[in-house]
Chains A and B, each alone.
Chain A
């Protein structure tokens, strides 16, 4: 079982629709959760971070975390063509002895169509 799993997609949504991206993780000790957006050939940029169960909203983006189900999602409202990218789910945990580790999923490719 992969540590962080995402559907690779592509996920196609029409412009203006809601895009729903999902991620599951295997380590129950995970404490921090992030969504990054990565355009082709570029490095990831942080979209959202979430640390506790529930929803967190920032503009058109809403992150949802359910630690009991080991599930984190990202909703993008009013999707725009510029949102077309690969979305990486990342899960962090503090390591025994100090330090922390961030594990990335393989990413979901989102295509927003005109």
Chain B
């Protein structure tokens, strides 16, 4: 089955630093990947849709300059949280869909803690 690898699984950083999270589709090509954020006891909120070779599409209220998304290849998308602050602490999850598929495959998630 389709596998999505996400790295790192957890990261702790100081306020003001930037953190990069990688999302890789291991056994399929994904022209589109999705980035979600989940706060404790809340649902997954779509942050942006990452399109290979073009700019990401951000959801309303998500700052594109703060959450930089790069989808340089058909198997890799990255999310960079720039100048992270404690309120950015959350569980970030990527997902991808193989061409022609109807279902998403999720990565294992990355827990970010900003001190």
List A residues 41-58 near B (Cβ within 8 Å): 41-46, 49, 51
Q: A102-B46, A104-B43 are in contact. Are A43 and B103 (CB under 8 A)?
A: no
Minimum distance in angstroms from B43 CB to a CB of chain A: 4
Quote the shortest CB–CB distance from A35 to chain B (angstroms). Answer: 11
Question: Size class of B's contact patch?
Answer: 20 to 34
B11 at the interface (CB under 8 A from A): no
Q: Is the interface of B mostly helix, strand, loop or mixed?
A: strand
Interface residues of B (CB under 8 A from A): 6, 32, 34, 42-46, 49, 57, 91, 93, 102-109, 111
Q: Are A49 and B44 in contact (CB under 8 A)?
A: no
Q: Nearest Cβ in chain A — how far from B54, in angstroms? A: 12
Q: Once the chains bind, are B102 and A49 in contact (CB under 8 Å)? A: yes
Q: Which residue from chain A places its CB closest to the CB of B109 in the assembled complex?
A: A43
Whether A43 contacts B104 in the complex (CB less than 8 A), given A99-B49, A107-B43, comes out as no
List the 4 closest pairs (A to B, CB-CB), nearest first: A43-B109, A106-B43, A43-B106, A104-B44
> Which residues on A are within 8 Å of B, measured CB to CB?
32, 34, 41-46, 49, 51, 88, 99, 101-107
Q: B34 touches which one: A34, A41, A102, A106 (CB < 8 A)?
A: A102
Contacts A99-B32, A102-B46, A107-B43: A46 and B103 contacting too (C-beta < 8 A)? yes
Q: Tell me the nearest residue of chain A to B59, going by C-beta.
A: A101
A32-B102 contact given A42-B109, A43-B107, A43-B108, CB 8 Å threshold: yes
Can you spell out 27 A-B residue pairs with CB atoms less than 8 angstroms apart?
A41-B91, A42-B109, A43-B6, A43-B93, A43-B106, A43-B107, A43-B108, A43-B109, A44-B93, A44-B106, A46-B103, A46-B104, A46-B105, A49-B102, A49-B103, A51-B102, A88-B44, A99-B32, A99-B49, A99-B57, A101-B46, A102-B34, A102-B46, A103-B46, A104-B44, A106-B42, A106-B43
